[in-house]
A and B are shown apart, each in its own frame.
Chain A
Amino acid sequence: MYAMWMQTKAETLKVLRNPYYVFWSLAMPILFYFLFTKIINTGVDDKQQWHKHYLMSMTIFSIMGSSIMTLGIRLVQERTEGWSRFMRITPLSEYSYFIAKMMAQTVIHILSIMVIFAAGIIINGVSLSFQEWLLSGLWILAGSLPFLALGTLIGTMKRVDTASGISNILYMALAIMGGMWMPIEILPRTMQAIAKWLPSYNLGNGAWEIISGRYPEWFNVLILSGYFFLFVILSKYVRKKQEAI
């Protein structure tokens, strides 16, 4: 147990000291939030609603970044540099190692959510009820699971270059098409139809529902769980195949 705690602590420190994380998961979302709610006139009628809506979008954008990019690239690095192999001769089991990594990611996500929510309050004086803050935060935290699973899948790639290239594309595509940068109503119809089936849109939609005084739709939960299981099964399958050699 002590080892697991120490491992979680170490993993958390490593992410916090990672410039990738600080840039993509904290600086960029806050900068975007500032730009699209303060500087650029988006011509939205209900400004307050937009401030809330976009705060949720940017928080999810942040969580997606740390799940897909930070975690995925990290896992590939650890393998190519011989660390994963070295860990196998220590008494710490692979399972504990993985759990510690996930716990560290959760700690990081809680931190990101709090920082970006705070930025919303400071920049635009966003005001939600306590229940809405809590619920949207928890929803985003739980909804990060399929993205973490996707990060693990990316983590099975052989080279850091490939992993960072592909995760970058996936990250941006999921963010834009899921309506994180601008509401999907602006996108063409076919894109909108595709978006409904993406994990990013479904995570976003749940949060947007919460801040509008409703609850996430069952469909959102279903799609997110579906992606979670899909990515978990895929990455387990790929890892099995790699180990067989």
Chain B
Amino acid sequence: MNDVVTFYNVTKTYKDQKAVNEVSFSIQSGEIVAILGPNGAGKSTTIMLMLGLLEPSLGLVQLFTHSPKEKLVRERIGAMLQEVSVIDRLKVKEILELFRSYYSNPLSLSELIKLSGMSTELLNQRAEKLSGGQKRMLNFALSLAGNPDLLFFDEPTVGMDIKARANFWNTIRILKDKGKTIIFTTHYLQEADDVAERILLLHDGKLVADGHPSEIKKKITKQSVSFLASTDLTLDQFRSLPHVEDVYLEEGRIYLITNDTDTVLFSLIKSNSSAEISEIQIKQGRLDEVFEQLTLSKEAQ
């Protein structure tokens, strides 16, 4: 297989602390992957390792089956990092042209403007005079300058307003349709859930889950079917239904915990009349809850 990213048994140790601890995964061409985790989980370190900006203490990191530091790899990647300001004393257009000159097959200036969502009026402005959101857009454009196959975004939407954020994710979808591989970290869990096809969940430097957002939700949070029931029904009655893992009563509602809400729903309807149960609700485990569970378990330690 042609891995775009190979991350094999990677450990990164700072002094005594393991920021990344024996993490392995590989990413294939065209995937869109979110790296998710609480603060200090090792998300940014993982990105830095993939970009070759940090050396792994142990293990192997490769992009396109080469060292991330090789020129041929750098030709094919683009990134938007945290805590990078813009080059000052140059106009936006000058910076874009400069970056385009680094690559052998750059995107055209007009494409960069279109994709990044910048307005053409910004072109003749000095970069240091841009607003925070405009600077992020410029950095976004720079990450696309070389028409890369693989893109990294570390907390990309921090500092973007709602409109810019919407445009950003829209562009990400366009890039995905062009077959680009995209890796991003985010604190906005909804974004990971909405955009990514795969989530790498990091916790304390370890990879605790790796899969489709729905798989991860299934794995960590339970879904539930709840309803109001007439008093003559007992909890045990529901416990025997197929796929029901747990049953409890809360504020007058009966909750059935399951990983297959559809089957439970059908059997409920088959075996009960509408007089007996009402106001059925299905609750999908949301990724925010997964995240909270992890964060809480971390704080509890």
Q: Which residues of A come within 8 Å of B, CB atoms?
A: 2-3, 5-7, 10, 13-14, 17-18, 81-83, 85-86, 88-93
Contact = CB atoms under 8 A, between A and B. Distances in A.
B158 interface: no
Contact of B79 (A13, A81, A89): A89
Among B74, B75, B77: residue with most chain A CB under 10 A: B74
Nearest 8 CB-CB pairings of A with B: A6-B101, A82-B84, A17-B89, A91-B74, A81-B85, A14-B89, A3-B101, A92-B102
Nearest to A14: B89
Contacts of A13: 89-90, 94
Given A83-B84, A93-B71, A10 B53 contact: no
A101 to B, nearest CB: 13
A91 B83 contact: no
B55 to A, nearest CB: 10
22 contacts: A6-B97, A6-B101, A7-B98, A7-B101, A10-B87, A10-B90, A13-B89, A13-B90, A13-B94, A18-B89, A81-B84, A81-B85, A82-B83, A85-B53, A85-B84, A88-B52, A88-B53, A89-B51, A89-B77, A91-B103, A92-B102, A93-B71
Contacts of A17: 89
B227 to A, nearest CB: 54
A3 to B, nearest CB: 5
Interface of B: 51-53, 71, 74-75, 77, 79, 81, 83-85, 87-90, 94-95, 97-99, 101-104, 146
A86 B97 CA distance: 17
A3 B104 CA distance: 10
A25 to B, nearest CB: 15
B94 A89 contact: no
Nearest to B97: A6
Contacts of B53: 85, 88-89
Contacts of B87: 10, 14, 83
Contacts of B99: 90
